[in-house]
Amino acid sequence: MKSRFFFLLTSLLWFVLPVSAESNLSELYDRLFLEVLILSVIVFTLVVILWVYMILKFRKGKVDAIEKYPVSFHKKLQITWIAVPIFIGLLLLAMSLPALSEFQKELSTPVADETIVVEATDNWQWKFYKGDQVYRPVTDENGISMTTLPLESGRTYKFVLWSTGEKPIIHSFYVYELNFKMDVVPHKNNTITVTINSPGSYLVLCAEYCGARHSMMRGVLEVS
């Protein structure tokens, strides 16, 4: 009964909640975020109500709680507080599966229209390789390195991530408006595949603290 209720709730939210659709991932992740938020609010509210109820009911002098409710093994209570978190965990897993499988789909069937090589350098810059073109960073007077990559909306891109330089370090390729983030790990080529739905300028940031100029390594996906 409970699982049917939550299934109904999440199905309703699917249609009701406003979500952004800049990429195939933003729709799924925004929806998941809102679903988890609502679930958290429900749990939080229940806990607070119970907490206030307990405070009022067992105020000092009002009821001798120890005498009235002696501490002993309570089987039903034990089972309840094991079963409820397991149920919530499984529910969260079920809610996350659509987003996770979308995120991983390139692994099973290649779907990308084009592959972009992303290079994160050890001097805190992004470099992009698309076809035979190389897109290099431009550094302004404040020391911010900006690399612009032109892309087209409606296309699916596979980003292959490299950490390069003499001392390659961990970065994270993060485009928050398109809801994707993937670590750039030395000696490992992580990939991420995303379909960009709407034209716009999407800021690229590094989301893994990587050293002195971490906040200054930036890029922009200029989607036409």
Which residues here bind Cu ion, judged by CB under 5 A?
171, 206, 210, 214
Give the DSSP letter of residue 99. H
Closer to Cu ion by Cβ: residue 26 or 172: 172
Q: Quick one: which of 107, 217, 105 has its CA closest to 163?
A: 217
**Is the Cβ–Cβ distance between 7 and 1 less than 8 Å?**
no
Give least dist CB 124 to Cu ion, A.
7
**Is the Cβ–Cβ distance between 170 and 183 less than 8 Å?**
yes
Q: Quick one: which of 30, 13, 7, 1 has its CA closest to 177?
A: 30
Give least dist CB 184 to Cu ion, A.
9
Closer to Cu ion by Cβ: residue 31 or 127: 127
Closer to Cu ion by Cβ: residue 127 or 171: 171
Give the DSSP letter of residue 97. H
Give least dist CB 136 to Cu ion, A.
18
Give least dist CB 158 to Cu ion, A.
22
Closer to Cu ion by Cβ: residue 28 or 210: 210
**Is the Cβ–Cβ distance between 124 and 210 less than 8 Å?**
yes
Cα–Cα distance measured from residue 89 to residue 98, given in angstroms and rounded to the nearest whole number: 16
Give least dist CB 127 to Cu ion, A.
15
Closer to Cu ion by Cβ: residue 155 or 214: 214
Cα–Cα distance measured from residue 210 to residue 208, given in angstroms and rounded to the nearest whole number: 6
